[in-house]
Amino acid sequence: MASKSDDVKLTADAVVFAQKGGEWNLLLIQRRWKPFAGLWALPGGHIEPGEDTRIAAERELKEETGIILPRTAVRVGVYNAPGRDPRGRYETHAYAAKLNTMPAPVAADDAKAARWEPLSKVTASSLAFDHSRIVADAMRRLGIRT
């Protein structure tokens, strides 16, 4: 029998890019709660019981930023390395998309703030969790170069 510490919690993240003036930008939220309160992260959160991972990514993106994940979004991968979240064992399903426009995000739900950040300013140390790895994988998947 598995112990409670072995329980895996499922999450979904959205990696959304848009260009402005020829420069790629990444949509980020500032975390309202621990862990990593105040740090910047990808929009995302817990998957509801019975919910599809893509639907969860769409829902979380809309709840936290007001932005809709386009149908052209692609699965980037599943991230489940032990220790990626200090709260315990978490597995996230990441989806990525390029937008043709850069709609203004409206922070809500778990997001204290939301903004577009030029990719040239995004660093591994500036993002919570393992989100820099997810962003790098999404960029490769979508063919985005800085």
Residues 47-89 have pLDDT tens digits of 999 999 999 999 999 999 999 999 999 999 999 999 999 999 9
Q: 78: which residues sit within 8 A by CB, 6+ positions away?
A: 91, 92, 93, 94
Query: Domain total for the chain?
Result: 1
Query: Is 113 contained in some domain?
Result: yes
Nearest to 43 by CA among 144, 138, 146: 138
Report the pLDDT value the prediction gives residue 1, as an integer from 0 to 100. Answer: 44
Residue 32 domain flag: yes
CATH code for the domain of 72: 3.90.79.10
Contact 14, 75 (CB under 8 A): no
Mean pLDDT of the chain: 94
Instruction: Say whether pTM exceeds 0.75.
Output: yes
Largest CA distance in the chain: 56
Nearest residue to 119 via CA among 53, 40, 9, 27 = 27
Can you give the residue range of the structural domain that contains 28?
Answer: 6-142
Q: What confidence score (pLDDT) does residue 124 get? A: 84
* pLDDT for res 5: 55
Q: Identify any residues that bridge with 14 across adjacent strands, giving them in sequence order.
A: 95
